[in-house]
Structure 1
Amino acid sequence: MKNKIFIMMLVVIIGALAACGTKDDSASNSGSSTDTIEGKTVLKVGTSADYAPFEYVDAAKGEEIIGFDIDLIKLVGEKIGVEMQVQDMDFNSLVPALQAGKVDVVISGMTPNSEREKVVDFSDKYNETEQVIIVKKDSGIKKEADLAGKKVGVQTASIQENLGNEIAKKIDVTVEGRTRIPEIIQDMMSKRLDAGILEGGVAKGYLKTNDQLVAFPVEEQPEDFKAIAVPKGSDLKDKMNKALKELAEEGKIQELEEKWLEKVE
């Protein structure tokens, strides 16, 4: 009789332990990346702070990352009720960081493309721009055809790199990648590069501060617009889109464009 009671109690205990284990496993497995992000009051924002006027550091004023994108993502944060903490990293590390959960959001003048869209989701567009070729005034380069036999710098993993490769199919030009935009300008000034492909708004900043530089538009302009990247399947996409729509309707995005952005003349 005692043995039967002992066995029955043992079965009950084992069953209870198994149920607890199942419950714990279920709880740990049910939370998706979306659920985790929804529970946060602070979101980590990845950017590459070498892309003035969108995201950069003005060393004369301090170490804070500033720019159009930074102001915009903070306004988005206010709309969705979270604090945005911005951190700097290399541009080609942004999407992998988002995939790995090291950041929750990416805003960095990023253009959606088929490769990126396979692994992350993008918000609606918030800005459109043109692409330009920037050169030294004494280079003799005034149009794309003049790039034949030259070295052109582009930021690695950017739309400008893709654009440079397309130009190279038509013209005998060598396309060289750089991690940061300032490296392209520095290498042009030291004659390690003959030209660079930049976004118009970014080029404008360098033209203002360096009278040795000029720029002209790329002949075949690709569709180039910027969007915010979020984890694949995250409902942050809908939240970002709602916030961007409201900011546009309120005229806030236009205010930021007037504050930060100008086209190359």
Structure 2
Amino acid sequence: MKKLIMIFMLVIFAGVLTACGASGNEEGQASNEKETTSKEKKVLVMGTSADYPPFEFVQTSQGEDIIGFDIDLANAIAEKLDYEIEIKDIDFSGLIPALQSNKIDFVLSSMTPTEERKENVDFSQIYYEANHMIVSPTESNIGKIEELEGKTVGVQLASIQADKAEEIKENVDITIESRNRIPELVQEMKAGRFDAAIIEDTVAKGYLDKNEDLTGFVIENAEEAGTAAAFPKNSELVEEFDQAITELKESGELEEMIKKWFDSEESQ
């Protein structure tokens, strides 16, 4: 009887040890899982207005993904900084408010760092420069700013082109109308409701190539409108993005992206 009791106790003790070992393994496994999770790349939420080819747009014939120069640039920066990017399509006028309310981490949407915008957000260094273009129906024969007298001119809401229109209005009597998206400006011209629109030249080129009934000219002596990434005030990302953009410039990768999107059929 004593032998049986001893054997029974040994069996129970062995079972307890086995259970403890299993528990330890589970804890170790959980610890490893946590460590793996902590090593996953941080996700940055990027805001953009996907109506601005070749910077950011959706080419429906190829799918629903947002593509373009700014998207390639964002992915290249993220790869250098070891981030993942999640993209949100937001009307251009809503991008800065989204930054201010921390709904997004940064903006890459061909945004010009004007003094007014700098009061509300911080910017990276300039990564691309372009000019303003007056676009109009070919039959209108508008070939210079003075010929906008008495005309209705469309601009994208909250864009640098809207500021340019206000500047023109100081010397030429024009009516300024705003729309959220560039395609809306084009449609308004085609419908005869706008006499002209002010659009960034690299973006306008794509529309002119597709629409023979539209023409345009670059505003003479216009200052180049540089574009930069935007961030909430005092964001640590500014310095990181500046470093990555500098590296992309020095390596020639940024120039390759520019050639891809502005000198090829992909930009159309």
User: What is the TM-score with the length of structure 2 in the denominator?
Assistant: 0.82
- Show the counterpart of 1:246: 247
The Cα offsets for residues 90-119 of structure 1, whole Å up to 9 and x where unpaired, read as 000000101111000100000001121112
Q: Using the alignment, how far apart are the partners of 2:66 and 2:142 within structure 1? A: 34
- Show the counterpart of 1:33: none
Q: Secondary structure at the match of 2:256?
A: helix
- Show the counterpart of 1:259: 260
- Show the counterpart of 1:10: none
- Show the counterpart of 1:116: 117
Q: Using the alignment, how far apart are the partners of 2:214 and 2:152 within structure 1? A: 16
- Show the counterpart of 2:169: 168
- Show the counterpart of 1:52: 53
Q: Using the alignment, how far apart are the partners of 1:120 and 1:142 within structure 2? A: 36
* Offset at residue 220 of structure 1 (A): 3.7
- Show the counterpart of 2:10: none
The Cα offsets for residues 28-58 of structure 1, whole Å up to 9 and x where unpaired, read as xxxxxxxxxxx97100000000000000001
Residues 1:83 and 2:72 are matched in the alignment: no
Give the AA of the match of 1:62: G
Larger radius of gyration: 2
| Structure 2 stretches lacking a partner, 5+ long | 1-39, 264-268
- Show the counterpart of 1:92: 93
Give the AA of the match of 2:254: I
Q: Using the alignment, how far apart are the partners of 2:122 and 2:93 within structure 1? A: 17
User: What is the TM-score with the length of structure 1 in the denominator?
Assistant: 0.83
* Offset at residue 140 of structure 1 (A): 1.9
Task: Note the 1:139-154 alignment, pairs <5 A.
Answer: 139-154=140-155
The answer to whether the 8 A contact 2:155-2:176 is kept is yes
- Show the counterpart of 2:203: 202
* Offset at residue 223 of structure 1 (A): 3.6
Q: Secondary structure at the match of 1:44?
A: strand
The Cα offsets for residues 58-101 of structure 1, whole Å up to 9 and x where unpaired, read as 11111100000000011000011101111101000000101111
Q: Using the alignment, how far apart are the partners of 2:190 and 2:120 within structure 1? A: 37
Q: Secondary structure at the match of 1:164?
A: helix
Q: State the number of aligned residues.
A: 225
Fraction of identical pairs, as percent: 47
